[in-house]
Each structure stands twice: as structure tokens, then as C-alpha cells.
Amino acid sequence: MASAIGLWLASETAQNSHMTPRQTLVTAGCACVYMHQIHTYALLPPFRLARALPAIFEAALLVSLLAVDHTQFKASKTRGNMSLSIPVLEDYGLSPTHGFLPATPPLTHLPDPYYGKWEAVATNLQAQVLGRRLRGVVDGLPVLSTSRLRDEAEWRRAYSLLCFITHAYIWGDDVPADRLPPSLAAPLLDIATHLEVPPVATYAAVCLWNYKPIFPDEPIDGLKNLATVNTFTGSIDESWFYLVSIAIEGRGASILPLVLKAMGAARRKDSPAVARCLRSFAERLADLTTILQRMHESCDPRIFFHRIRPFLAGSKNMAEAGLPRGVLYDDGSAAPAYRQYSGGSNAQSSLIQFFDIALGVCHRPTGETAADDTARGSNPNSRNNFIQDMRRYMPGPHARFLEDVSRVANLREYVHSHRDDHELCLAFDACLAMLSGFRDKHIAIVTRYIITPSREARAHNRRREPVSKKHLNLATASMQAQDRGHKGTGGTALIPFLKQARDETSEPTVEEWTKRFIQRKAEGDARADMPLGRPEQADKESVSVKGLAGSWTMEDNVGGICLV
């Protein structure tokens, strides 16, 4: 009887205070013990029953304290992001004018003559690749120490140029190299550790730390004042491909302080200020879409697909391309290790993920829906391995900034709690519409630069001679993978992945009509694109593509163009 009363008391307390099962169990146990003592005392004469009063009060007090403690914990959890300070850009090496780009332009060369051999190789990279001499030159280089790199700008320059040399070394011949010599591996591993990035050509290596202003006294928030420092091919097409991303970073830099200001205004419940920031946010997102649409001006899709993109490949999931274990980073140690990394991709841009965090956009693993979130009861972002994995390819401070911003992000919650504020809701929904439109244009670019050339390459490859082991590369890998029904080198279907990311962008909208408008616009844009059915089945006969990797599958999402 006492146990039953104790369980009932604990159950009522837990239900009213929304305790977890573990907390309910602890409360029930304590309540049963004390109710048993009370029941025992109740069987005694009245003068003995008086002694039970302290136990009664103790039992009631314990259960009450447990309930109050949990209620306060729950309340403090809802106020958790209020107790955390809003991140300061400068604490992460960021600036309100340059965002994730360095506050001062990257170095175009290392000033210490000691590193002249690295600079010489990078300067003549295209000629050495063309003459098939790069590997011999790199193999003959001495192992240079990183101890003479003096500041972060020099560390970043060393990282960028070594990444260009590394990927040219691996992919600049008919057969990929599965081993990096100590002259590359040893310093690259040291530099990568210092900068908190992987030892591979990341977005930071080819974009963020690989540009120079044409006129130093002019802004870099547009394409007219930007140039690249290094490229693999020396082509205008490759430079333009990087510069479009760099210009987006430059123009989008002002959004960072704008969003942080909006978060502060939301904490003060200053709705007009939040709305003003969101309107400016939406306008700047429109500017980014305009820059993205200029990709076609100086970057030919076929040159990008056949000549530029292969150099951006990583070593992860590349067994078909001749790298079954990845690449051996021979740093001269007793036990050098094979490593596997994804290729360089715009998905490694911290700016794009920052937009999603600011607006409360959640991305799920490809194929999952909002209904799956309800069933699982977990944050979809925590299950999206691709998004989390791409953060490992960002500079450490940038990734930490995103993590810290995600802890204090409050705009979606604030706007949805002020649905009666029409101006506020309209500004928030406008941001989501602009971000969705940006992703629409990105899908169109992927179609033109990857899907169409991929189909053309497959049609052409069917007429080619059988594959030679002497020409095993990414092109061969793509064809053989499709023959067996495998996915592409990235492991995720590209177009479904991007379309789902676009569709998820509209989910946080306040007004239902805004969501319908975004979805209808997306459907209209999809009809305007090339029909994207299932990839045609490749012929069973494997074929070869000589030279640099000539073909990538339609289902690849790593290496080149990919904005989550």
C-alpha cells in the first residue's frame, strides 16, 4: 500500500514537472521509501504517530525539491542561449568587412628564400604537369622545416601552395599517385596541424587563401578587383571558378555582423531592429545570387568538367580510381599512414552554413523528411554526417565560430513567437526565399557544369576502346562504378541531395503562403532545367579516357561545385 501511494505521488509529480524517465525512477524510489516509513508509523499509537511527522514532511519536501529542481532546470534550458554571450568575430580571426576571408590579402609568395623551391614548383606547375615532370621534380626536393614560417599569413600561404602541388602530384598523370614523398607529406602535415585543417586541397586552400586584389585600395566584394594566386591549369576558366566563390565570400562578409546584431536585438525584444537587419540580410543574399549567376561568363562547363575538376578530387572512396586505401602520407616516420579525404568543395564554405544556422534551417540525411524528425525525436543536423564532416575541412576557428553561433541562434524562435508582427515575419520569410533562390541557381549551375558534361562523356565513352590498366583514373572509375550500380565518388546522389537542401530551406517560414510560393518557384525552375531522370545505364564494356580524369558520375557531390 505504501509503495503504491509512493509511486502515485512520484508519478503525479513527474507528470506535472515533465521529468525524464530516469528522474521519475529516482523520485519514485525515494517516495516509496519514505511512504513506507510513514505507513509504519501510522500503525503506532497516536503519541508515537507524532514522531512520524518529520518523516512525512521530509518525504513531501524531497519530492517537492526534485520537482522544483527539474522545473528550474527545464526553465534554465530554455534560457540557455540567453546566458551565453553572442560570439565576437575578432575572437575567431574574422572581420566585419572580410568575413571568412583574411582581413589582409593572402601572401602571393613566401618572403623567406628558404622556401624558394616550393614557390618555384608552384610557379611552373602547369608546365611540369604538361611535360609529365612534376613527380620527378617533387621527389628530388629536400624536406623543408616549417620552423621558419613566422606568422599566420605565411602558414596559410605555405598550406595553399603545398596543396596545389600535392593534388597536381596525385592527379597530374594518367595513373594517380598513391604515395606522397616526405618532401610534401612532412611539411604539409605540420602546416595542416597548425592551421587545424586537413592536409588536402580544401576550399580554404584554393579560395579563401588563394586570391589577391588587383588594386589594393579597392574593395573585394565583387569580381572586378580579384585575381587568383595559384591554379592547376593556368586557365582563365579555373581562375574564374575560384573567383566567383571568393567574390561571394567578400560580398557576404557584411552579413556576419548583421546577423549577430539581429540576435542581440532579439534578446532585447527589439522587433523593429530585428526586422531591419533581416531586410538587409535578404538584400545581400540577392546580391550573392547575382554573383553566382555570373559563373558562365568566363568558365566553360566542359573545361571545368574535364580539365579543372579532376584536380580537386580527394582520396576518399576512390578505389575505382586507383586509390583503394587512399594516399600514403610518407612523412619519413617509421610507420607512415594511408589517409582518405574528401575533395575540395564549396560545401566547405563556412558562409553558407552560417546562413542556415542564422535562419534555423535544418538539413537531414538525403531521403529523410520532417516526419522522420518527429519519429526519431532528434535534431536532423546532428544526423547529417555530410554537413558535420564538411566542418572538419574548414579552418578550426571558422568551425568553432559556427558551433558557437548555433548555441545562441534565436532568430527563428523569436520570429515565430511574434507572428502578429507582420513586418518582422515578412523580413524573415524574405531571407528564406532569397536563400532558396540562391540554391535554385546553384542547382542550375550543377546541371550545366556536371550533369550535362557527364552525360556527354558517357555517350562518347561507349564508342571508345577497352580500358587499359595504364590509364586508370577518375574517368575509368566513374564508368566502372556505374556498370555495377555503385554510387559516385562522393557517396551521395548529387541532384536529390541539392534539391532536398533547397526544399528544407523553406521549412522555417512563418507564413504558409510563403512556403507554397517558394516551392512553386522551385518547381518552375526545375521544369526549366534539363530533365533529370535516372542516369542512363552504361555499357557493360569498360572504356578508357586518356590523360587527366575525363568523367565524373552524376551522383558525385564532392569535388568542385557543391553548396549545401
3-class secondary-structure state, position 329: strand
Tell me which of 19 and 415 has the higher pLDDT: 415
What is the pLDDT of the chain when averaged over all its residues?
80
Query: Which residue is it, cell 549551375?
Result: 445
Which comes out higher in pLDDT, residue 552 or 502?
A: 502
Between vectors from CA 556 to CA 555 and to CA 561, what angle results, nearest 5°? 125
**pLDDT band at 476, cuts 50/70/90?**
very low
Q: DSSP string spanning 35-87?
A: HHHHHHHHTS-HHHHGGGHHHHHHHHHHHHHHHHHHHHHHHHHHTHHHHSPPP
Question: pLDDT (tens digit, 9 = 90+) per residue, 165-186?
Answer: 999 999 999 999 999 999 999 9
pTM for this structure? 0.78
Strands of the 337-339 sheet, one edge to the other: 179-180, 327-329, 337-339
* 3-state SS track over 77-100: HHCHHHHCCCCCHHHHCCECCCEC
How high is the pLDDT of residue 303?
A: 96
Average pLDDT over residues 403-412: 97
Higher-confidence residue of 129 and 34: namely 129
Q: What's the pLDDT at 367? A: 77
Q: Name the grid cell of 335.
A: 610507420
At 511 the pLDDT is 79
Q: What does the pLDDT read at residue 494?
A: 77
Name which of 350, 460, 361 is nearest 94 in CA terms.
350
Give the pLDDT of residue 371.
Answer: 66
In DSSP terms, 95 is beta-bridged to 99
Q: Residues marked as binding for heme b?
A: 442
- Res 107: pLDDT: 98
Closest CA to 210 of 198, 191, 233, 226: 226
453: its cell numbers: 558534361
CA 123/CA 271 separation, integer angstroms: 53
Binding-site sequence positions: 442
Which cell numbers in the block locate residue 180? 606522397
The alpha-carbon radius of gyration of the chain (Å, integer) is: 29
How, if at all, do strands 327-329 and 337-339 pair? antiparallel
pLDDT at residue 106 is higher than 70: yes
Distance CA 238, CA 233 (A): 7
Q: Minimal CA–CA distance to 272: which of 493, 426, 435, 73?
A: 426
**For strand 211-213 and strand 226-228, is the pairing parallel, antiparallel, or unpaired?**
antiparallel
pLDDT in tens, 47-63: 444 444 455 445 444 44
Q: Does residue 211 sit in helix, strand or coil?
A: strand
Pairing of strands 179-180, 327-329: parallel
How many Å is the maximal CA-CA distance in the chain? 105
What is the mean pLDDT of the segment spanning 8-23?
45
Rounded CA-CA distance 15/62 in Å is 16
In the predicted model, is pLDDT for residue 472 greater than 80? Answer: no
pLDDT over threshold 80, residue 427: yes
Band of residue 518 on the pLDDT scale cut at 50, 70, 90: confident
Q: Cβ distance 554 to 488 under 8 Å?
A: yes
